[in-house]
Structure 1
């Protein structure tokens, strides 16, 4: 009798919803645990080529913590597409302007750089305050160590 390894498919996904409170959490630790949940690495059926992850809602993004002197020294870059069009913003200014983007950039960098990673990233919802419109999905609370 031959035994075969089971390979999970996207249709096997149960897709739970989690809510994470980012207040006082360190950015990198939070992002790595959120990325693992989005990817489905906590699921026993985890398969690298399938989307078996859960949806994650992050609240209180404006109260995230960066260690050391990263608030002043960490820069985020984007380019306008024109010659000399490199734009730079520090983490401190980005948290004041758009605090959700700091968490989005950190999590996106930890996901695969392909079509699966882009699809997984759409299941991340980040909000600056403590309110979110996803109560209908009955999200469970995820604790960050």
Structure 2
């Protein structure tokens, strides 16, 4: 299943994808930079800035490793909805692919959208795109 992430709410997209992955399907998300997070831009930036400050003082090379690219942020949100500490969750996570834009090999295939996760159903104008969040965090893509 190939899902177009343009104007889809991150949490709703992630829960839908996680459910399909646990059912054994292969899920591919394209246009991950166009996924949105609901809420005020400043509040979202504050949450992610605080998350960036978490670090290991004894040896920073051991983590935590902070993701900044749009496809990594979407992939990590989906991983958060999987039982990743169990073999079933890890196997499902391996069936997930996330891309910025639409790769050439997927351009000719049928790409679906999710009306139940659409930005139009949000009912608010306060949202931020993953692309803007990634640029704020220092992601280079």
Above 0.5 in TM-score? yes
Instruction: Decide which of 19, 23, 34 is 2:2's aligned counterpart.
Output: 19
Tell me what 1:67 maps to: 38
Alpha-carbon distance between aligned partners in 2 of 1:135 and 1:129, rounded to the nearest angstrom: 10
Extract unaligned runs of 5+ from structure 2: 117-141
The CA RMSD over aligned residues, in Å, is: 3.1
Alpha-carbon distance between aligned partners in 1 of 2:53 and 2:96, rounded to the nearest angstrom: 21
Alpha-carbon distance between aligned partners in 2 of 1:21 and 1:63, rounded to the nearest angstrom: 9
Compare relative contact order (CA 8 Å, sep 6+) and give the higher one, 1 or 2.
Answer: 2
Larger Rg: 1 or 2?
Answer: 1
Question: By how many angstroms is 1:71 displaced?
Answer: 3.6
Assess if the C-alpha contact under 8 Å between 2:18 and 2:78 holds in 1.
yes
| TM-score (normalised: structure 1) | 0.61
Q: What is the number of residues matched between the two proteins?
A: 109
Alpha-carbon distance between aligned partners in 2 of 1:64 and 1:32, rounded to the nearest angstrom: 14
1:92-124 deviation per Cα after TM superposition (whole angstroms, max 9, x unaligned) = xx2xxx110111111111111212211110100
| TM-score (normalised: structure 2) | 0.63
Assess if the C-alpha contact under 8 Å between 1:100 and 1:128 holds in 2.
yes
Alpha-carbon distance between aligned partners in 1 of 2:74 and 2:104, rounded to the nearest angstrom: 16
Instruction: Decide which of 74, 81, 86 is 1:114's aligned counterpart.
Output: 86
Matched, 1:100 2:75: no
Higher helix share: 2
- CA gap of 1:108–1:133, structure 2 versus 1, over 3 A, is same
Extract unaligned runs of 5+ from structure 1: 1-17, 41-52
Assess if the C-alpha contact under 8 Å between 1:59 and 1:132 holds in 2.
no
Question: By how many angstroms is 1:73 displaced?
Answer: 2.5
